[in-house]
Structure 1
Amino acid sequence: MSKSNKLKILNDPIYGFITIPNEGIFDLIAHKYFQRLRRISQMGLSYLVYPGAHHTRFHHALGCMHLMKKAVNVLRFKEVAISEDEENALLQAILLHDIGHGPFSHAMEHSLVEEVSHEEISLLFMENLNAEFNQSLTLAIKIFKGEYHRKFLNQLISSQLDMDRTDYLKRDSFYTGVAEGNINSERIITMLNVVNDEFVVEEKGIYSVEKFLVARRLMYWQVYLHKTSLVAEQLLIRVLKRAKELCASGITVEASKAFSFFLNNKITSSDFNEDVLDIFSRLDDVDILSAMKEWMYHDDFVLSNLSQMIIERDLLKIEISDQVQQDQAKKPHIDYLIDTYNISAYEAGYFVFSGEISNQAYTAIDQNINIYYKNGEVKDVTEASDQFNLRSLSNKITKYYLCYPKRK
């Protein structure tokens, strides 16, 4: 058989042509662990609100890699020394930074497994791939974990102005059609520089950074924390919780082999061995959707109704307020469910619940976005900006919600 060409060019709707830079990167992209990301939605159930939001973690990872390549070229042009090995490690790390996401991304992050973040699972995947690819990801893992001596390399992967955020804001804005999130990633990257081993933005780029932070705030309220998306994701969490409860009590709950494993076993970080990782790698959105389509007809009232709500997009009502939702606000809705459907107060609690959401576009004490002036001065963006509202973006805004069923 003839050897296939691994230096491919991919067509991306955001950036145009994306070139796969070397055969090692191609082999990572071609690996089954990475290909799974084609079946993991980038924005969970947001497509129930924004019909175009069907893009995947696969799209996002390739976009991040493309932006990282551009950032490296810009910094080298400005005489920041970045070796070939460091560049390749950066591309590997940013490509794999989200590989640990489970089905529907953040929506099910702490539901399938107990208190294990997607970053931890990403690291497990990276270590597994490192062993498979003859330790060629060792430097990438070191940078990803923040253990490499050059701090700015980690900041390009994980900070308040990293390639991850720079891609997902622009990409999510495009696919949802929400123009407020459209940032100038090209301009931001062109203005990057490194001072005292930390990356900075040159003063000419301050307005692009301001736009980036405002766009992030608007995207959270308008898209990521949209009330309908919020309800759908909370229902998804409760579907999984109920399915696990039924399994624990010996009731049959049909699901794929991989999904059944997590329904029937409590998995924590200490349990996450290579066998569990392999089972996790076989899970994607399809497992969850196909299971819920079956669960719509399950004998259990809670599981069947929650599943039907999501599949048929007949969701709960939601009220959002600046005030904490008091327990007495739930009582009439719980009483209605108990009287109408003859279920217990505990079961009714699956359909009537409250919680909180928060939005903080910028954290001034956590890996600041620094603006670099020609005279060598470096200032935090909130100090450098003449935009008064920018300072308020570092304030955490919390809102409270109450969900309950519609009356028939």
Structure 2
Amino acid sequence: MSQINKLKILNDPIYGFITIPNPFIYDLVQHPYFQRLRRISQMGLSYLVYPGAHHTRFHHALGCMHMMQKTIEVLRFKGISISVDEEKALEIAILLHDIGHGPFSHAMEHSIVEDVNHEAISLLFMNKLNQDFNGELSLAIQIFKGQYPRKFMLQLISSQLDMDRMDYLKRDSFYSGVAEGNINSDRLIQMMTVVDDTLVIEEKGIYSVEKFLMARRLMYWQVYLHKTSLAAELILTKALKRAKELTQKGIILPCSEPLLYFMQNKVELDTFDNDTLDKFAQLDDFDIVSALKSWQNHDDFILSTLSKMIINRDLLKIKINTEKYTKEEAAGYIAAFAQLNTISIQEASYFVFKGKIKNQAYSKDAEPIQILKKDKTIKDVVEVSDQLNLKALSKPVTKYYICFPKQLVEN
């Protein structure tokens, strides 16, 4: 029997040293399902705008686990009872919360696996790992699904102030170089406590919460919904849809076997069996980039043009406005592009499309961020805050976009 030291220390550019807390977590990190996250970009195609944004879901998952370790330590210090089994389950659940992400994070959800979101695939991975590890993930899965009676444990994993958001804001801010997203996660964690099994923030931490919500709003408009990365993701989605369309007509495209499987089959949640899961586990960013490089030279005008756009960062023009773009405006661009390239209206519509984006830094309809006041009453952060802008942050802001080829402006 090999004597591997499983209590590893990892060096993280954000937090310094991260420790693998127990041998079981080490085994999960070493599993091929988890190692795949090294090959999944955390911020999709944002590196086309922010050249440093090449960090991965692997970085993020380990960062979230580190935050969870610190939070458990703080809560125990404040007298909150968390058993060894619960601690392990919380670390497992947060470590695996994003394991279901496909290549380039969100692009796959809208193209190749059309009706299955990454949260559902994460749960499928967790259930499969639970079989492989003889039920050791059962409690983690129970917490992840919100079926465990201690509500605050789910809030640590998925809420408006969870470990996931706290890590990705700090990490994405660091790697993109957008300083506005940097938050004081240490102070937020120090201010956490639990009342009646609900996660609350002590009143003196309110300014850190306000900063957190403001950072989230700025990161969404400046980074996650940046018009260039939005255009790139939409083009990638269109390229994958076109590739799937051609494949289903019997045209075999050069690509990896796992990618071919998803292009040849309609994958829905009820048919997502263990074989499909294993195929999905072999898919990563490299499959997509490799395919796009091959497809640049394909005979199909749509596929080759869209692929070149991503590979060479020669993207569609995108305009964003507070008013909706009309069908007539889109139709005009489509007709002009069809005439310019001698293609059909249907083919040209792959290059002109419109839609909307929405940003809401804080939702009053979702479970609120609760503030524990000095008089022991608990109130929604918006009611306690003296910042008028916090009320503004809880209103959804919708913007509208239209994408079209640059040549239509240049000619």
Moved more, 235-244 or 106-115: 106-115
Structure 2 partner of 1:195: 195
**Is 2:192 the counterpart of 1:185?**
no
1:210-221 pair list within 5 angstroms: 210-221=210-221
Residue in structure 1 matched with residue 366 of structure 2 by the alignment: 366
Alignment check: 8 A CA contact 2:112 2:244 kept: no
Residue equivalent to 1:94: 94
**Alpha-carbon deviations, 1:121-152, whole Å to 9, x = none?**
00000010011111000000000000000000
Measure how far apart 1:156 and its partner are. Answer: 0.2
Question: 2:193 and 2:110 mapped to 1: Cα distance?
Answer: 37
After superposition, where does 1:61-72 map in structure 2 within 5 Å? 61-72=61-72
Q: Is the 8 A contact 1:38 1:58 kept in 2?
A: yes
**Is 1:403 the equivalent of 2:406?**
no
Structure 2 counterpart of 1:176, which letter? S
- Alpha carbons 1:361, 1:393 under 8 Å: kept: yes
Structure 1 gap segments, 5+ residues each: none
Name the aligned partner's letter for residue 342 of structure 1.
T
Other structure's SS at 1:330 match: helix
1:335-346 alignment to 2 at 5 Å?
A: 335-346=335-346
Deviation at 1:335, TM superposition (A): 2.0
Partner-residue secondary structure (3-state), 2:10: strand
Alpha-carbon contact 1:322-1:398 (below 8 Å) kept: yes
Distance in structure 1 (CA, Å) of the matches to 2:138 and 2:386: 43
The letter of the residue matching 1:296 is Q
Query: What amino acid is the match of 2:65?
Result: M
Report the aligned-residue RMSD.
Answer: 0.8
Query: 1:253-272 maps to which residues of 2 (within 5 A)?
Result: 253-272=253-272
CA deviation after TM superposition for structure 1 residue 254, in Å? 1.2
Identity of aligned residues (%): 65
Deviation of the 1:111 alpha carbon? 1.8
2:281 corresponds to which residue?
A: 281
Contact 1:114–1:269 under 8 Å retained in 2: no
Equivalent residues, number: 408
CA distance in 1, matches of 2:114, 2:290: 23
CA distance in 2: counterparts of 1:338 and 1:161, whole angstroms? 48
- SS in structure 2 of the partner of residue 42 of structure 1: coil
The Cα of 1:52 is off from its aligned counterpart by 0.3
Q: 1:108 is matched with which residue?
A: 108
Q: Distance in 2 between matches of 1:114 and 1:224?
A: 21
Give the CA deviation at 1:385. Answer: 0.3
> Which residue pairs with 1:233 in the alignment?
233
1:206 matches 2:211: no
Contact 2:152–2:197, Cα closer than 8 Å, also in 1: yes
Matches within 5 A, 1:2-13: 2-13=2-13
Match of 1:40 in 2: 40
Residue 74 of structure 1 aligns with which residue? 74
1:298 aligned residue: 298
Q: Distance in 2 between matches of 1:396 and 1:375?
A: 32
Deviating more after overlay: 302-311 vs 368-377: 368-377
Distance, in Å, in 2 between the alignment partners of 1:29 and 1:310 is: 31
SS of equivalent residue, structure 2 residue 11: strand
**1:164-189 deviation per Cα after TM superposition (whole angstroms, max 9, x unaligned):** 00000000000000000000000000
Q: Helix, strand or coil: the match of 1:109?
A: helix
Work out the CA distance in 1 between the residues paired with 2:191 and 2:112.
Answer: 41
Q: Distance in 2 between matches of 1:338 and 1:7?
A: 60
AA partner of residue 251 (structure 1): I
Q: Deviations over 1:301-343 (max 9, x none)?
A: 0000000000000000011111110011123321222112111
Q: Give yes or no for the alignment of 1:351 onto 2:351.
A: yes
The answer to whether the Cα contact below 8 Å between 1:41 and 1:104 also exists between their aligned partners in 2 is: yes
Larger displacement relative to structure 2 (367-376 or 329-338): 329-338
The residue type paired with residue 67 of structure 1 is M
TM-score of the superposed pair, with normalisation by structure 1: 0.99
Give the secondary-structure state (helix, strand or coil) at the position aligned to 1:328: helix
Distance (Å, rounded) in 2 between the aligned partners of 1:21 and 1:386: 40
Q: Deviations over 1:279-319 (max 9, x none)?
A: 00000000000000000000000000000000000000011
Q: Which runs of 5+ in 2 are unaligned?
A: none
Q: Deviations over 1:57-81 (max 9, x none)?
A: 0000000000000000000000000
Q: Aligned equivalents of 2:210 and 2:340: distance in 1?
A: 52
* 1:2, distance to aligned residue in structure 2 (A): 4.2
- 3-state SS of 2:106 partner: helix
- Summarize deviations over 1:92-140 as a string: whole Å, max 9, x none: 0000000000000012223221211101100000010011111000000
Cα deviation code 1:8-53 (max 9, x no counterpart): 0000000000000000000000000000000000000000000000
Q: Which residue in 1 is equivalent to 2:28?
A: 28
Runs of 4 or more consecutive aligned structure 1 residues displaced over 2 Å after TM superposition: none
Distance in 2 (CA, whole Å) between partners of 1:320 and 1:108 is 23
Residue aligned with 2:398, SS: strand
CA contact (8 A) 1:158 1:164 kept: yes
Q: Which residue of 2 aligns with 1:56?
A: 56
